Amino acid sequence: QLQLVESGGGLVQPGGSLRLSCAASGFTLDYYYIAWFRQAPGKEREGVSCISSSGDSTYYTDSVKGRFTISRDNAKNTVYLQMTSLKPEDTAVYYCAADRLSMCAKSRKYGYWGQGTQVTVSS
């Protein structure tokens, strides 16, 4: 079946780093835009980053620019989010999403979703 699975979350102290992975099975990501979203308790889901199908275009929300890096390896059918200089406000469940889009988009435009991975930044 078609599936996206996130991994790599965990507990980290402020200033630390984590690398999240989003692995697809049952379909190829070659033609898909991939986005990372996050949602903290009681808050709206927020777009964090997005990468084009070829990997030649990326987007980051202002709050993570310079700290997070999105990348993809289509041969491995996997997308990554490298997070550095983590802050407590980065604490959230992080989701990856995919769809055959022509640009980064709001969450409602994505048809494939993972189950999420928890990132907690706390001392």
pLDDT digits (tens, 9 = 90+) for 45-101: 999 999 999 999 999 999 999 999 999 998 999 999 999 999 999 999 999 999 999
Torsion of the alpha carbons at 70, 3, 12 and 82, rounded to the nearest 10: -10
The CB density around residue 86, as the number of other CB atoms within 10 Å, is 22
What is the per-residue pLDDT for 39? 98
What pLDDT does 101 receive?
Answer: 92
Residue 2 has pLDDT above 90, yes or no: no
Name the 3-class secondary structure at 97.
strand
What are the strands, taking DSSP E only, across 26-91? Answer: 33-39, 46-51, 58-60, 68-73, 78-83
pLDDT of residue 19: 98
**Two tokens, residue 26:** 């049952």
**Across residues 106-120, what is the average pLDDT?**
96
